[in-house]
Chains A and B, each alone.
Chain A
Amino acid sequence: MSSNKKYWKSVEELNENSSVVETLQQKEFAEEIPVNEFLGDKDSLESSKTSRRDFLKYVGFSTAAASLAACEGPVIKSIPYVVQPERIVPGVANYYASTIADGFDFASVLVKTREGRPIKIENNELSKSKSGVNSRVHASVLSMYDANRVKRPMIEGRNVSWEEFDREVGNALNNVSGDIVLMTQTFASPSTTKLINEFSEKYPNVRHVVYDTVSEDAALNAFQSKFGQRALPNYDFSKAETIVSVGADFLGDWQGGGYDAGYAKGRVPKEGKMSRHIQFESNMSLSGANADKRIPVTPSQQKAVLAALYGYVAGGFSTSNLPAKIDDAVVKAARQLRKAGSGAVVVSGIPDDNAQALVLAINEALGSGVMDTANARMIRQGNSQAVMQAVKDMKSGSVGAVLMAGVNPAYSLPNGEEFAEALANVEVSLAFSMSPDETAKLCKYVAATPHYLESWGDIQYTTSNFSLMQPAIRPLFDTRQFQDCLLKWTDNNQSYHDYIKETWSGNISSWNTALHDGVFGATSPVNVETAEGSGSINVTTAASELVRSAEGEGMELTLYTKPSMGDGQQANNPWLQEMPDPLTRASWDNYLTVSKSDAEALGLENDNDSNGGLNGSYVNVTVDDTTVNNVPVIIQPGQAKGSVGLALGYGKKEGLQKEMQVGVNAYPLYKNLNAVQSVTIEKVSGMHEFACVQLHNTLMGRGDIIKETTLEIFNTRNVSEWNSVPNVSLDHVEKPVTSPEVDMWDGFDRSIGHHFNLSIDLNACTGCGACVIACHAENNVPVVGKSEVRRSRDMHWLRIDRYYSSEDTFINDLDKKENISGLGSSLSEFGELEEPADNPQVVFQPVMCQHCNHAPCETVCPVAATSHGRQGQNQMIYNRCVGTRYCANNCPYKVRRFNWFNYAQNEEFDYHMNNDLGRMVINPDVTVRSRGVMEKCSMCIQKTQKTILDAKREGREIEDGEFQTACSAACDKGAMTFGDINKEGAVIRDRKEDDRMYHLLEYVGTKPNVMYQTKVRNTTEA
């Protein structure tokens, strides 16, 4: 049931003879201290210029200098405000509601500011659209403090004033011959739409082209054809009972993302019910990893699957041309969809107009209540055809001016080089840009734009849900936002702020309330022409056309976006670069994901260094005549045979610090902005060194860290069968580990005061990683860089472990093996014994310090630098720590992190903590740790202490829900619940009493204050 599954973290572990795995299981710090290497080399020692005497001199001098320096403390200056703003109290945080809308991520957020500088992004609880505050949104605050930003307007690389810029651009636009192409991101902003219309009135030759870097063109076309509006259907997955996804990573960035919160709601078993999720896909995506049933199929098969699904559900077919195994899965999926009625939904990410039209038709036929086409999503409006046409026109010379805002086509267009040439043909080229990127480099005029935390805006998230963007800080540089520029250039003296206010006057009751809340419901004040659906896509023929186009040839590539990097806009953000990919656990890279059998066929290898560092072969990937060279390969369990995957958003060079210029640019393969391409792969020499943490902090041979069961067992069997408390032997009698007499330690009375517990629901956790970045931001966790991560020295306080397991239990396999009779039977049945890497099940498990009540780390610290608090926190005192690392060795959960270096203000670690601008993001309530000390999750004691102090000052009791950690507040899926276990009626108490509750490695007897809720899979086939 739960305990007899074998879990593994990497393909390497499936190899029984791997010495690396063995080493890593035995050792906390895999690498030896290179003393022998250093002292054993006589030549280098003798050639060294530093003699023993010199060494002693240096030691003596530095000791003397240090003690002299210690005598006189530095003089510290304090500079108060001359006129203190009324709302700012030094030491107290202010929160402002705002909205990110960078063309890829759209979300309503709360901005935490200290002394006027934004330091953290949080969820806006009022946001009804639940618009996906993902890891990138959490990290966006650091992108504002990017030292590589464009700081002032420039003409031909020359810094100019805005007055001069306005004058020059005004002259250029007035004298332009030919079209003015305005190429922008999706703004989804009524005011901006109005403004662009006014701009078009002044310059009648303006052509507005909306360009989404990662295109949703097919879905938009299908929706437009049916409903006349260029928008996307909205889905409420919390209502779903059966979800069938054909190639849609709807827990990732599919159609604008943000669906994971609703999905997670339906995944927690309530009254014996949870949703069932079936995923057909080629790349192993977050959605596939969370699915109850995942069927790896190639992109071309996906088309056939969708067509067949349409046939079974709506078209009245009963057969398909699919292989029997896949066909069976489709038949079962169709049956379950029909059974679920209005709770059924089909989604697809196939970049094909017909496929998307079929999805709409299937959901309509099912009567799906999950899909909402009335309140459609407006956050993707790009038009690939228009973009390609614009490039063509630029090349032919019929375009006189190009104005680009929020896009970087020179980098992100598949024909980037062609675009660069075409841009040279255009008389006036202007980029509104935050960073001196590829496009800005090519443009004559560069208008420095502010970050969204320095800007105003209004965003139409869906037809009737809106949100406002307001600045949380004055612009750091001499920047002006796109809309303010347009206002200037249309001779309008209003500021954009006033302009938005005017746009909305009469449509909302109170501007101040809307601004305070950040979100509001309304109807758009700006009319967008909506035609009747043209019906240009014929649904009846769509299925057969789809099947016809389904014949893929050769290897099929699916381009995807990573939860950390997205479309690559925030590539200069070290938090995001260092965030491990949820599935491969690799950071600082993109790579070609290949299935194991394809890798063997092509001779591609992954191997591990003795310290756990992963290496991968290089390949050249070619689409038609375009080749991307030296793409490293990762063998991805679950990758469909005959398919490969590659993430977009990497390989950017311009406007990026050298350390961040990692990965390969996959956009040249994104032909016609179509994510699926057929490719040829050619192995080239060399091995790539990954910074991959998948073998780090391993299970240490303890495989039963995850508990999971099926919905059927969960509903029908007793708890003790699927979530039993482990027994330990006391005087040769088995006793449950929770009974007091088996305990080595005397317990303390923990019923007085607060006692904090954290519950993590493995069913609701999708592995998105928002908590990892929130923890980074809250706790000043340093970025250590690629080579340090490779050495297993990553500093993440909170890691999300990803475990693979075989589809069925080992018992089943074992039974089968036992029952083999004769040679013939053995040949066939051994073949059926599955290859574990073909299609593994995946579990995500966030692990941070477990705050054990009987903590092994506390007893081994020679200086008592880690001790236990009455409130349940295992406290780590940096100023007391001498860095013996005994605690890390003795921690069964491997959650302690050692500061091998000084990561702040150190040229060797040139990330945000090494420049004045980047350090502005540091949380002043948390110490910046120095070299040589251990650190770990503190259960956000600064946050709980603040909550307690606020209550004391106000003389009131603390309500349930007031206590939060950074991770629990960041998790909009509700996977993390934090609270005071001694509080009557607290949610966390219910969690602790829940049948699904278990503690990690409970038999060790550490009595953690972090608990997990057993993963339940809905394997019930209808």
Chain B
Amino acid sequence: MKKVKYRHSTSRLLLLSVAFFISFSVLGIAQEEASQDAAGEGQEQTDESSGESSEADAAAASDLGDPANGKSLFNSLCAACHKPYSAGIGPALHGVTEKREMDWLYRWIKNSQDLISSGDDQAVAIYEEYNQTAMPAFPQLSDADIDDILAYVEQPKPEPQAAQTGGESGGGDSSGGGVSVNVILAILVFVLVMLLAVLFLVNKTLRNFAQASGVVVPEKPKRKPIWKSFVENQFLVLISAVFGLLVIGWFAYGFFMQVGVDQGYEPIQPIHYSHRIHAGDNQIDCKYCHSSARTSKQAGIPSLNVCMNCHKSISEVAPETATAEYSKEFYDGEIAKLYDAVGWDPAEQDYTGEEKPVKWVRIHNLPDFAYFNHSQHVSVAGVQCQKCHGPIEEMEVVYQDAPLTMGWCINCHRDTKVRMEGNEYYEKIHEELSKKYGVEELTVAQMGGLECAKCHY
């Protein structure tokens, strides 16, 4: 489960990386570029093909209206409850023009309650089917607007193949890159072996020639082996022993200092939750989900009902969310995992009551003897989450960014100024302490933030 991104000071890693860097850097870089190019091309292709298909669809639906305008109207007014191709709070809209009369649709969209109270059979039937959930009235829409929206929703469902091929072609390319490296490696090894063989043969042949022509190869005078002279030189032995001990000491120290420091710890989670999408792309405030960070010592892993606030209506990601590494299907699958855990039936749009709590792997583990309170830092001090947790909004999978060692805490407490303005609690103590230290702004340390029992009890 445990995967560590950077673990410094392991000699093995160092050696390996040096060796690998030297021998394969050129190859590696070339290969990377190649795969990126390939992925880029794939992406362009997808865009082109989807563009083409949308043009074709637009032509097909042109009798309804302008799908581009319809898209913007749909997204602003309808998307909260409806999706074109699947059921949300309201039914899927694709194909609605075939099921209903246009006039009926105009009336329904402009004021559905009116239509229901007028006793229209179809309207009443729909109203009952959706548990008497009323659709809001949209009197502001003209018939032309409604045409545009319908034109948008009546576009045929874009085939997911396009994105898939893009993803696959990227993947294929990268795996191809892997093969080529192996091939080149094999060739290289082969060439080297051949060279060795040739050398050996040449040497043997030359010796044979010499023997045949009676040339005597002069024997080298036997010298004292170098290790013997090294051992005899006591000064050198001393120096190297001292050096050796220092090196061992250095590595031992490094090894022991990283025990229990899990910087870069990036475990695989039961659900691939992407902070990049949520906090980065969608700019959801951290404290929307981690709400207890404001009031409690624990920031809290959000309960699944918080996820469902949004994911009730977001059952799949937009195609542009997909990356080279993770496809749209992958993300949609992760959302399905959420539904499974929380017991949500997307088809019925209802909870089944079968809950399977998610067992997340905890990343930031403070030992039990260290007391840390989120609300102190988040609410009182106004510290940004990223200060300790790193660029969360860029993390696809969260890893431990800070070392979370005591020295790291203390250093921050030494430098950070306490945010005192407008907080009545600090008024008196600020006045007294700033007089004592002769400064206007006080650090956490000056407030007593370095005392042992502020964190250990």
Asked whether A and B interact, the reply is yes
The answer to the question of B39 belonging to the interface, with a C-beta cut-off of 8 Å to chain A, is: no
B-contact 0/1 string along A54-71, CB 8 Å cutoff: 000000000000000011
Partner of B357, one of A80, A957, A958: A80
CA distance A966 to B373 in the complex (A): 21
Contact A928 B368 (CB under 8 A): yes
Partner of A925, one of B260, B371, B426: B371
Contact A75 B368 (CB under 8 A): no
Contact A91 B300 (CB under 8 A): yes
Contact B298 A90 (CB under 8 A): yes
Interface positions of B from 234 to 262, Cβ below 8 Å from A: 259-260, 262
Contact A77 B361 (CB under 8 A): yes
Which of B301, B428, B433, B457 has the largest number of chain A CB atoms within 10 A?
B457
The answer to the question of A955 belonging to the interface, with a C-beta cut-off of 8 Å to chain B, is: yes
CA distance A751 to B431 in the complex (A): 13
Partner of A70, one of B260, B371, B427, B451: B260
Contact A879 B456 (CB under 8 A): yes
Contact A83 B305 (CB under 8 A): yes
The answer to the question of B429 belonging to the interface, with a C-beta cut-off of 8 Å to chain A, is: yes
Shortest Cβ gap from B340 to chain A (Å): 11
CA distance A871 to B427 in the complex (A): 17
The answer to the question of A878 belonging to the interface, with a C-beta cut-off of 8 Å to chain B, is: yes
The range of chain A's interface size is: 35 or more
Shortest Cβ gap from B377 to chain A (Å): 11
CA distance A788 to B367 in the complex (A): 29
Shortest Cβ gap from B268 to chain A (Å): 10
Shortest Cβ gap from B309 to chain A (Å): 12
B-contact 0/1 string along A935-954, CB 8 Å cutoff: 00010011001001101111
Query: B375: which A residues are within 8 A, CB to CB?
Result: 949, 953
Partner of A78, one of B265, B355, B362, B447: B362
CA distance A279 to B451 in the complex (A): 50
Query: A952: which B residues are within 8 A, CB to CB?
Result: 376, 380, 423, 425-426
CA distance A76 to B364 in the complex (A): 10
Identity of the chain A residue whose Cβ is nearest the Cβ of B379 in the assembled complex = A953
Partner of A90, one of B300, B359, B429, B453: B300
Query: A76: which B residues are within 8 A, CB to CB?
Result: 361-362, 365
Total number of B residues with any Cβ neighbor in A under 8 Å? 60
Query: B2: which A residues are within 8 A, CB to CB?
Result: 72-73, 75
Query: A878: which B residues are within 8 A, CB to CB?
Result: 369, 456
CA distance A927 to B370 in the complex (A): 8
Shortest Cβ gap from B261 to chain A (Å): 9
Shortest Cβ gap from A514 to chain B (Å): 28
The answer to the question of B341 belonging to the interface, with a C-beta cut-off of 8 Å to chain A, is: yes
CA distance A844 to B240 in the complex (A): 70
Query: B362: which A residues are within 8 A, CB to CB?
Result: 76-78
The answer to the question of B303 belonging to the interface, with a C-beta cut-off of 8 Å to chain A, is: yes
Given the known interface contacts A869-B451, A879-B369, A927-B368, the answer about A79 and B358 at a Cβ–Cβ threshold of 8 Å is yes
Contact A875 B451 (CB under 8 A): yes
A-contact 0/1 string along B283-310, CB 8 Å cutoff: 0000000001001111011111110000
Query: B1: which A residues are within 8 A, CB to CB?
Result: 75
Shortest Cβ gap from A924 to chain B (Å): 9
CA distance A928 to B300 in the complex (A): 22
Given the known interface contacts A92-B296, A875-B451, A953-B375, the answer about A82 and B342 at a Cβ–Cβ threshold of 8 Å is yes
Interface positions of A from 872 to 889, Cβ below 8 Å from B: 873, 875-880
The answer to the question of A552 belonging to the interface, with a C-beta cut-off of 8 Å to chain B, is: no
* Interchain Cβ contacts within 8 Å, total number: 156
CA distance A951 to B360 in the complex (A): 33
The answer to the question of B350 belonging to the interface, with a C-beta cut-off of 8 Å to chain A, is: no
The answer to the question of B432 belonging to the interface, with a C-beta cut-off of 8 Å to chain A, is: yes
Contact B267 A78 (CB under 8 A): no
CA distance A938 to B456 in the complex (A): 11
The answer to the question of B129 belonging to the interface, with a C-beta cut-off of 8 Å to chain A, is: no
The answer to the question of B5 belonging to the interface, with a C-beta cut-off of 8 Å to chain A, is: no
Which of A82, A927, A928, A957 has the largest number of chain B CB atoms within 10 A?
A82
CA distance A30 to B24 in the complex (A): 70
Identity of the chain A residue whose Cβ is nearest the Cβ of B265 in the assembled complex = A73
The answer to the question of A718 belonging to the interface, with a C-beta cut-off of 8 Å to chain B, is: no
Query: A83: which B residues are within 8 A, CB to CB?
Result: 303-305, 355
Query: A92: which B residues are within 8 A, CB to CB?
Result: 292, 295-296
Given the known interface contacts A877-B452, A878-B369, A952-B380, the answer about A91 and B357 at a Cβ–Cβ threshold of 8 Å is no
Query: B376: which A residues are within 8 A, CB to CB?
Result: 949, 952
Query: B221: which A residues are within 8 A, CB to CB?
Result: none
Identity of the chain A residue whose Cβ is nearest the Cβ of B448 in the assembled complex = A870
Partner of A941, one of B303, B342, B447, B453: B453
Interface positions of B from 179 to 203, Cβ below 8 Å from A: none
Query: A949: which B residues are within 8 A, CB to CB?
Result: 373, 375-376, 380
Contact A867 B457 (CB under 8 A): no
The answer to the question of B218 belonging to the interface, with a C-beta cut-off of 8 Å to chain A, is: no
The answer to the question of A752 belonging to the interface, with a C-beta cut-off of 8 Å to chain B, is: yes
Query: B297: which A residues are within 8 A, CB to CB?
Result: 91, 925
Query: B228: which A residues are within 8 A, CB to CB?
Result: none
Identity of the chain B residue whose Cβ is nearest the Cβ of A92 in the assembled complex = B296
Contact B360 A80 (CB under 8 A): yes
Shortest Cβ gap from B270 to chain A (Å): 9
CA distance A73 to B369 in the complex (A): 16
Shortest Cβ gap from B258 to chain A (Å): 9
Given the known interface contacts A91-B298, A878-B369, the answer about A945 and B454 at a Cβ–Cβ threshold of 8 Å is yes
The answer to the question of B424 belonging to the interface, with a C-beta cut-off of 8 Å to chain A, is: yes
Shortest Cβ gap from A318 to chain B (Å): 65
Shortest Cβ gap from A934 to chain B (Å): 13
CA distance A954 to B453 in the complex (A): 23
Query: B371: which A residues are within 8 A, CB to CB?
Result: 925, 942
Contact B368 A938 (CB under 8 A): no
The answer to the question of B224 belonging to the interface, with a C-beta cut-off of 8 Å to chain A, is: no
Contact B357 A73 (CB under 8 A): no
CA distance A925 to B355 in the complex (A): 30
Contact A927 B303 (CB under 8 A): no
Partner of B436, one of A89, A752, A951, A957: A752
Given the known interface contacts A75-B2, A949-B376, the answer about A80 and B457 at a Cβ–Cβ threshold of 8 Å is no
CA distance A878 to B455 in the complex (A): 11
CA distance A77 to B362 in the complex (A): 5
The answer to the question of A828 belonging to the interface, with a C-beta cut-off of 8 Å to chain B, is: no
Contact B436 A749 (CB under 8 A): yes
Contact A876 B453 (CB under 8 A): yes
CA distance A650 to B343 in the complex (A): 52
The answer to the question of A15 belonging to the interface, with a C-beta cut-off of 8 Å to chain B, is: no
Given the known interface contacts A71-B259, A79-B357, the answer about A927 and B369 at a Cβ–Cβ threshold of 8 Å is yes
Contact B359 A82 (CB under 8 A): no
Shortest Cβ gap from A902 to chain B (Å): 14
CA distance A72 to B371 in the complex (A): 23
The answer to the question of B422 belonging to the interface, with a C-beta cut-off of 8 Å to chain A, is: yes
CA distance A623 to B127 in the complex (A): 84
Contact B365 A82 (CB under 8 A): no
Given the known interface contacts A83-B304, A955-B423, A958-B425, the answer about A879 and B296 at a Cβ–Cβ threshold of 8 Å is no
Interface positions of B from 43 to 75, Cβ below 8 Å from A: none
The answer to the question of A84 belonging to the interface, with a C-beta cut-off of 8 Å to chain B, is: yes
CA distance A71 to B262 in the complex (A): 10
Interface positions of A from 893 to 951, Cβ below 8 Å from B: 925-928, 938, 941-942, 945, 948-949, 951
Contact A79 B452 (CB under 8 A): no
Query: A953: which B residues are within 8 A, CB to CB?
Result: 295, 375, 379-380
Query: What are 14 A-B residue pairs whose CB atoms fall within 8 Å in the complex?
Result: A77-B361, A80-B300, A80-B303, A81-B305, A82-B355, A82-B356, A82-B357, A84-B305, A89-B292, A91-B298, A877-B456, A880-B452, A927-B368, A928-B368
Q: Which 9 A-B pairs have the closest CB atoms?
A: A875-B453, A91-B296, A84-B303, A91-B298, A81-B303, A80-B301, A76-B362, A91-B297, A82-B355
Residues of B within 8 A of A (CB): 1-2, 259-260, 262, 265, 267, 292, 295-298, 300-306, 341-343, 355-362, 365, 367-371, 373, 375-376, 379-380, 422-429, 432-433, 436, 447-448, 451-454, 456-457
A84-B305, A949-B376 known, 7 other contacts, Cβ within 8 Å: A77-B362, A80-B300, A875-B457, A878-B456, A880-B452, A938-B453, A948-B425
